[in-house]
């Protein structure tokens, strides 16, 4: 539309109506834009849809607002020859334009005036609150001492008066900067500075002098008799006086204030630096403790993982030896299927020994060799003899040799082993087989592996304890620094401020009561004159902030022990990190030891079957008469005792019947191996091998297994078999294992059930260790949560400390200002006060 009008004016320059309509269009667009802004400023105004659509279309046509001047355009239109109606219309438009301009100016002035009144009112409110607070203060100083100490919170007074003065000063300056031509603000600001800020120093009002200069220079000279003449003259007179050079009195007051403030803030400055330095160190130590705690938890988790890996090391070594012993009988019998099954099991055990234990044992490869010797054969046995020797190994060396011996023997296919047996190369004469078998009776492998495990476990505990000791040391250092923060920082500042306030109060006690009443009257007069002159109803809206008579016992105690409160917060913050770690570590130590001891049952299950085999087979080349029975009897007794201890909780932990996480093993019936294998077993009722037995609770199954071992031991001790020649044989028959061992119902039950027992104990072992890993994870998660809580507590303690520094700094500054609020004539009347002002010392 604008382009159309401009193009029309260019083509028809002598058409007054075109210029008139264009001017009216611009005026209409500007009014529409103004109305839209007014409507937007009213949040709850209801506008129908037609008005909204009309406004939008009008905005699109008018471009919201046209920058062209309708007055200049309409003046062009009125210069043409037009009829009376056209001229009337143009004159009406001119009138509308003038009215609009007048309305805009009036609105701007009204808005500016309201903003000015609002700023000035806020400044006056703070000004009057400051005067009222000073009046209260000197009234309380003039009251009896007993009443004063019970209800007067002087620290709050000094801090609040400092804040009020700064706020009032800022409000007056903002008002003067925004409205420099308003005389009343200068008068009020001058009154504020002379009564409160610098009552004895007229030279410190440089900002006010500059503002007066600006105002005086920008106000034109008024004719005599003008109402503003007296105000401007007094202003210029004040400006002339205030711009004079500083006199000696002003310099002296400034110097005295500076000396007094320096004397007051000496302890404060030193203690503040100590607080900031110590807090920085505390935060640094907190970060170090947190990081080290994460390292400790990770190390704890790794240690538990290592202990879990090697906790059943003896069991797997015994398992390999048992299978090696049994495969020899199957090879003698030329039982290919059973021999191959056991050979594969041996190879699987070798892989486990190599992958699971060697990496852990390698860390201890440089350890001294065990004092327990190992019988090692160097060649094949011929005529019952072979060259051998006793060699000392450490745990790593022995494990490496066992793996080597087993690989050398059982990497040979089963068919070849049976063929060797047929050709006279008996497996019982093989040097590797004899080395593995002949160390059973003296339990050489067991002693060395147990000794190695004990070293690893002891090193693990020592490693954890050493790291825990570092955490203790860091925690103690943290606690000492937090105590130093209190004793060297916060408490000295608080004590210094309290002593200073008390000494100032004692000095003010020397001021005559009449003089104090005069000071109070002066503030009363100022409040009354301001409220009457500016018609302000001062209703003490900020009474909650200026209540200096709220000095309850709890507030006094909080103020007195603020440093100890911060001390306590910091100690709690570090204990939230350390205590869970200590508790969890103690819990883990007890439970890991319990798990490792209970893991011995797997080893005992293997030993019971192995020694039962030797008790029945009576091989004099491996066992001397009676030694197998003795070993079997020892394992039976140890197994029975351990079962009782675990069941009753004699290991220091709760009984297994109370471990709800193990109900699936200890209470419920269930298969311990693959479910399909349990369903497909061939039951043998004669020996007690049924589905119900193998799926019974684990302790019941182990007890039944133990009873079979007792039965085997009992049968080997009957009277008719007590002669050595009848019982023991230097040569083992090919079918002796099948005839006597697998023909014995008790041994056959063990032979079939042993896998179920071992798998059940594996699940027991893994379930307990999984609970330990869960404990480690819970410790980690709780520590992460406590880190956030501790960070908040550290932030709170820092805020309290920082606010204490700032608060006391304000108090010290305002004490100096309040001292210099005392009129000079009163100071001269009180020698003690005068001496203090001159020397900034309370010493008489």
pLDDT tens readout for residues 224-239: 444 444 444 544 454 4
Question: Which segment of 3-12, 358-367, 577-586, 673-682 scores lowest on mean pLDDT?
Answer: 3-12
Helices then strands, counting H and E runs in the chain, come out as 34, 2
H helix runs in 152-198, sequence order = 154-178, 183-192
Domain ranges of the chain: 2-118
Going by C-alpha positions, the residue among 143, 800, 155, 802 that lies closest to residue 499 is 155
pLDDT digits (tens, 9 = 90+) for 772-807: 888 888 888 988 999 999 899 999 988 888 888 888
CA 817-822-823 angle, to 5 degrees, is 130
**Of 300 and 82, more confident:** 300
Greatest mean pLDDT range, 195-199, 753-757, 761-765: 753-757
> Contact 192/168 with Cβ under 8 angstroms?
yes
Q: What is the mean pLDDT of residues 245-267?
A: 78
**Of 86 and 408, more confident:** 408
N-term to C-term CA, the chain: 91
Greatest mean pLDDT range, 265-269, 402-406, 559-563, 615-619: 402-406
In angstroms, the CA 167 to CA 175 distance is 12
Indicate the SS3 state at residue 228: coil
Residue 374 β-bridge partners: 391
Token pair 């906790």: residue: 311
Structural tokens at position 23: 């001017």
pLDDT of 387 > 90? The answer is no
Pairing type for strands 373-377 and 388-392 reads antiparallel
H helix runs in 311-361, sequence order = 313-332, 336-352, 358-361
DSSP structure string for 712-726: HHHHTT-GGG-SHHH
In angstroms, the CA 504 to CA 227 distance is 49
Indicate the SS3 state at residue 508: helix
CA 732-738-740 angle, to 5 degrees, is 70
pTM value is 0.70
- Pick left, alpha or beta for residue 218 (phi over 0 → left; psi -120 to 50 → alpha; otherwise beta): alpha
**pLDDT (0 to 100) of residue 374:** 94
């Amino acid at each position: 539309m604008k382009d159309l009008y401009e193009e029309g004016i260019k083509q028809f320059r002598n058409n007054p109506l075109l210029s008139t309509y264009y001017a009216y269009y611009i005026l209409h667009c500007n009014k529409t834009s103004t109305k839209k802004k007014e409507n937007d400023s009213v949040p709850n105004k209801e506008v129908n849809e037609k008005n909204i659509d009309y406004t939008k279309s009008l905005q699109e046509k008018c471009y919201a607002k046209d920058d062209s001047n309708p007055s200049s355009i309409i003046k062009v239109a009125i210069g043409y020859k037009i009829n009376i109606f056209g001229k009337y219309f143009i004159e009406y438009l001119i009138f509308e334009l003038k009215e609009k301009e007048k309305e805009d100016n009036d609105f701007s002035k009204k808005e500016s005036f309201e903003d000015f009144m609002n700023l000035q009112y806020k400044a006056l409110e703070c000004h009057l609150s400051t005067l009222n607070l000073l009046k209260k203060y000197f009234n309380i100083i003039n009251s009896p001492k007993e009443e004063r100490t019970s209800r007067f919170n002087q620290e709050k007074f000094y801090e609040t008066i400092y804040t009020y003065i700064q706020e009032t000063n800022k409000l007056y300056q903002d008002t003067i900067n925004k409205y420099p031509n308003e005389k009343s603000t200068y008068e009020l600001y001058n009154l504020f500075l002379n009564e409160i800020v610098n009552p004895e120093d007229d030279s410190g009002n440089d900002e006010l002098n500059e503002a007066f200069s600006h105002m005086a220079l920008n106000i034109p000279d008024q004719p005599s008799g003008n109402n503003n003449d007296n105000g401007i003259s007094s202003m210029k007179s004040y400006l002339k006086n205030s711009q004079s050079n500083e006199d000696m009195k002003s310099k002296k007051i400034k110097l005295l204030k500076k000396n007094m403030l320096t004397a007051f803030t000496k302890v404060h400055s030193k203690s503040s630096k100590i607080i900031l330095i110590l807090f920085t160190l505390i935060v640094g130590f907190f970060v170090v403790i947190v990081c080290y705690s994460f390292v400790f938890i990770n190390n704890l988790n790794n240690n538990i993982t290592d202990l879990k890996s090697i906790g059943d090391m003896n069991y797997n070594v015994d398992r390999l030896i048992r299978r090696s012993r049994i495969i020899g009988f199957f090879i003698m019998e030329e039982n290919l299927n059973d021999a191959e099954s056991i050979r594969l099991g041996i190879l699987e055990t070798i892989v486990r020994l190599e992958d699971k234990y060697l990496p852990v044992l390698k860390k201890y490869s440089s350890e001294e060799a065990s004092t327990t010797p190992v019988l090692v054969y160097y060649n094949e046995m011929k005529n019952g003899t072979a060259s051998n020797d006793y060699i000392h190994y450490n745990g790593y060396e022995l494990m490496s040799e066992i793996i080597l011996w087993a690989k050398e023997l059982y990497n040979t296919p089963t068919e070849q082993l049976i063929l060797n047996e047929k050709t006279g190369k008996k497996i019982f004469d093989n040097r590797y087989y004899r080395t593995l078998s002949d160390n059973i009776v003296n339990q050489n492998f067991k002693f060395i592996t147990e000794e190695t495990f004990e070293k690893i476990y002891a090193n693990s505990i020592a490693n954890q304890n050493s790291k825990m000791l570092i955490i203790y040391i860091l925690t103690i250092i943290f606690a000492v620094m937090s105590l130093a923060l209190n004793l060297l920082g916060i408490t000295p500042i608080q004590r210094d401020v309290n002593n200073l306030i008390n000494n100032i109060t004692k000095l003010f006690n020397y001021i005559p009561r009449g003089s104090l009443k005069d000071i109070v009257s002066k503030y009363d007069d100022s409040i009354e004159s301001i409220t009457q002159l500016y018609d302000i109803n001062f209703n003490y809206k900020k009474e909650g902030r200026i209540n200096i008579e709220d000095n309850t016992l709890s507030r006094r105690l909080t103020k007195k022990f603020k440093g100890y409160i911060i001390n306590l917060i910091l100690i709690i913050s570090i204990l939230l990190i350390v205590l869970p770690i200590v508790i969890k570590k103690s819990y883990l130590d007890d439970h890991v030891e319990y798990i490792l001891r209970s893991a011995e049952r797997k080893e005992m299950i293997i030993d019971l079957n192995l020694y039962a085999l030797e008790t029945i087979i009576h091989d004099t080349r491996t066992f001397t008469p009676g030694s197998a029975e003795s070993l079997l009897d020892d394992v039976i007794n140890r197994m029975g005792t351990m079962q009782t201890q675990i069941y009753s909780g004699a290991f220091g932990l709760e009984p297994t019947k109370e471990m709800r996480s193990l109900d699936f093993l200890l209470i419920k019936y269930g298969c311990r191996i693959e479910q399909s294998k349990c369903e497909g077993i061939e039951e043998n009722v004669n020996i007690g091998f049924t589905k119900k037995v193998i799926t019974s609770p684990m302790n019941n199954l182990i007890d039944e297994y133990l009873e079979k071992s007792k039965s085997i031991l009992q049968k080997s001790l009957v009277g008719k078999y007590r002669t050595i020649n009848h019982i023991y044989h230097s040569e083992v028959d090919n079918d002796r294992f099948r005839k006597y061992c697998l023909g014995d119902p008790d041994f056959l039950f063990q032979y079939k059930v042993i896998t179920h027992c071992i798998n059940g104990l594996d699940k027991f072992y893994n379930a307990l260790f999984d609970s330990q890993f869960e404990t480690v994870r819970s410790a980690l998660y709780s520590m992460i949560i406590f880190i956030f809580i501790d960070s908040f507590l550290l932030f709170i303690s820092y805020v309290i400390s920082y606010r204490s520094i700032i608060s006391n700094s304000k108090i010290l500054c305002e004490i100096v200002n309040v001292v210099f609020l005392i009129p000079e004539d009163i100071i001269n009347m009180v020698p003690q006060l005068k001496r203090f002002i001159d020397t900034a010392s309370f010493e008489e």
